[in-house]
Amino acid sequence: MTQEELFKKLIAHSKEYGFVFPSSEIYDGLSAVYDYGQNGVELKNNIKRYWWESMTRLHENIVGIDAAIFMHPTTWVASGHVGAFNDPLIDNKDSKKRYRADVLIEDWIQKQEDKINKEVEKARKRFGDSFNEELYRQTNPRVTEITAKKDEVNHRMVEALQQNNLPEIKKIIEDCEIACPISGTRNWTEVRQFNLMFETKLGSVSDEANTIYLRPETAQGIFVNYLNVQKTGRMKIPFGIAQIGKAFRNEIVARQFIFRMREFEQMEMQFFVRPGEEMKWYEYWKEKRMSWHRTMGFGDDKYRFHKHEKLAHYANAASDIEFEFPFGFKEVEGIHSRTDFDLSNHQKHSGKKLQYFDPETGESYVPYVIETSIGLDRTFLLVLSAAYHEEKITKEDGSTDERVVLKIPPALAPVKLAIFPLLKKDGLPEMARKIMDDLKFDFACQYEEKDTIGKRYRRHDAIGTPFCITIDHQTLEDETVTIRYRDTMEQERVPASRLREIMTEKVSITNLLKQI
RNA sequence: GCGGGAGUAGCUCAGUCGGUAGAGCAUCAGCCUUCCAAGCUGAGGGUCGCGGGUUCGAGUCUCGUCUCCCGCUCCA
């Protein structure tokens, strides 16, 4: 089976067993929007808990918040999103490739600079020690010509971007005779604007309303509350603020199931540190986060770091944790050194002092920030794709059989234990109900009495239930039950009175947290 | 946006030459069996994505349209 087929089966399985449904399906769906079903929401909540507790419980100096999705519009001016997330796009009609129009122009400008540098180097060789680079740059006719043209284009581009003048951007591309690197042609479409932030109106009367944005990242909710948390929590640097919440990006192309959605959920932690110590903490969090992933037990070779060479406007170092999905190694989490970019800009735009007085050094400063930002939906997909197994089984009579099993770590599984009476008579259902009533306060349990026992086992394999408890005639005599293990399909007989203790040991998130 | 693929029952799919809708699984009710899916009987479930055209007659031919999935620049 190819990876693509496997991925398709995984998507079908997700729907079939109540993990993920296409949004608004009865109306033909909505592109790249998905809903989490009855099992999906449990798995998702368990992942959230694993993350949340690994942050807030295991670190005394990390606390959580839950900021609103709506934020003051100036937030996004300060964060750089208003400027940086307005991408003018253009398509080449021959190669069918899509480009960011400003990037095309920037590449052209870079080319001109390369040309100039080449000229300078040539001249340096020619003139030897007597070479005056500055003078040459100012006087050489060829260099000054290219420089002038380059500066003019740059000026036009900046102005056009500021005024959102798309036809002008198209004209620049035409004037510079920029060709598509793939097709080599200059057969371009019009330039179109893709605003990555969703707009909405605040206020019930539309003409009085202000345009606000749905947040494109949760981080800013942390930054604008930095001072509130620091003061009210009497936090001392270094300290962190964690948050789980929805974010929205009007992606140009949103694809690959729940991997890239327009509405998605992030789990972010911003860690505030003393300037100059950011690299130490950057390395610390890279290791911590990788360890969190590996503890789930899907295999260390499924993960790798990817270092960003090209950095975002706010970062001075950035690495991704990538996981090997059925469609290749893809980013699940980013660990970014964000410098003091965000807090400084909020300080500037708000006029509020966002500084920290460090009693150890006796100085005030704007803290530096290390960000860990993980996609919850991506982690969900990670768990599902790593857990999905199709197994061939040889039965006692020699015939072969197949089963689909989700080997989800027990602590994250939507249903922890399924409770079955072996027969639907002889008082077994009553006994099973009694055991379930006792355990349901501590574990997500499901009771099933329909169909043969084998069918019930398989149904729970398919949703990843790690343990099935079966009540048989012997239970009536000595109060023992069998535990059937999902991964090995083996059974073990234990006293019913010990179930709580055994299950607590096997399914608690605490034990996962201890291994990080 | 462009290119490719696909829309028939909850799921997987069949449907011949254009003749009026089928199977398996699943669901529900009952019977039988009882520790690893597929025993028996019965029931429910369909505007064949949508709209027009050709035809006595369209799931099938034709035109249009919509939606979903995959690939391409961005990111968590």
Please give the pLDDT value at position A322: 92
Please give the pLDDT value at position A454: 87
A263 nearest nt, CA–C1'? B76
pLDDT per residue as tens digits for the range A191-200: 776 677 888 8
Amino acid at site A157: M
Cα A47 to Cα A40, A55, A160, A202, A440, distances in angstroms: 11, 13, 45, 33, 20
Please give the pLDDT value at position A498: 94
CA closest to C1' of B11 belongs to A16
Q: Do the strands A317-325 and A303-307 form a parallel or antiparallel pair, or are they unpaired? A: antiparallel
Q: What percent of chain A has pLDDT over 70?
A: 92
A491 nearest nt, CA–C1'? B35
Q: How confident is the model at residue A468 (pLDDT cuts 50, 70, 90)?
A: very high
Amino acid at site A361: T
Cut 0.80: pTM above it: yes
**Mean pLDDT of all residues belonging to chain A:** 87
A376 nearest nt, CA–C1'? B76
| Strand-pair partners of A213 | A199
Whole-number distance in Å between A244 CA and B9 C1' = 41
CATH 3.40.50.800 domain extents, chain A: 401-515
Please give the pLDDT value at position A110: 81
Average pLDDT of span A355-359: 92
Average pLDDT of span A266-275: 96
Please give the pLDDT value at position A152: 85
Q: Cα-flanking dihedrals φ and ψ of residue A66, to 5°?
A: -140, 95
The CATH number assigned to the domain with range A86-195 reads 3.30.40.230
Residue A115: pLDDT over 90:
no
A247 nearest nt, CA–C1'? B76
Chain B: bases < 7 Å from a protein Cβ: 1-3, 7, 10-12, 26-29, 33-38, 66-76
The CATH number assigned to the domain with range A62-73+196-384 reads 3.30.930.10
Amino acid at site A382: L
Whole-number distance in Å between A261 CA and B69 C1' = 15
Q: How confident is the model at residue A374 (pLDDT cuts 50, 70, 90)?
A: very high
Whole-number distance in Å between A263 CA and B49 C1' = 26
Top CATH class of A401-515 equals alpha beta
pLDDT per residue as tens digits for the range A410-430: 999 999 999 999 988 888 888
More confident residue, A392 or A479: A479
- Strand, helix or coil at A500? helix
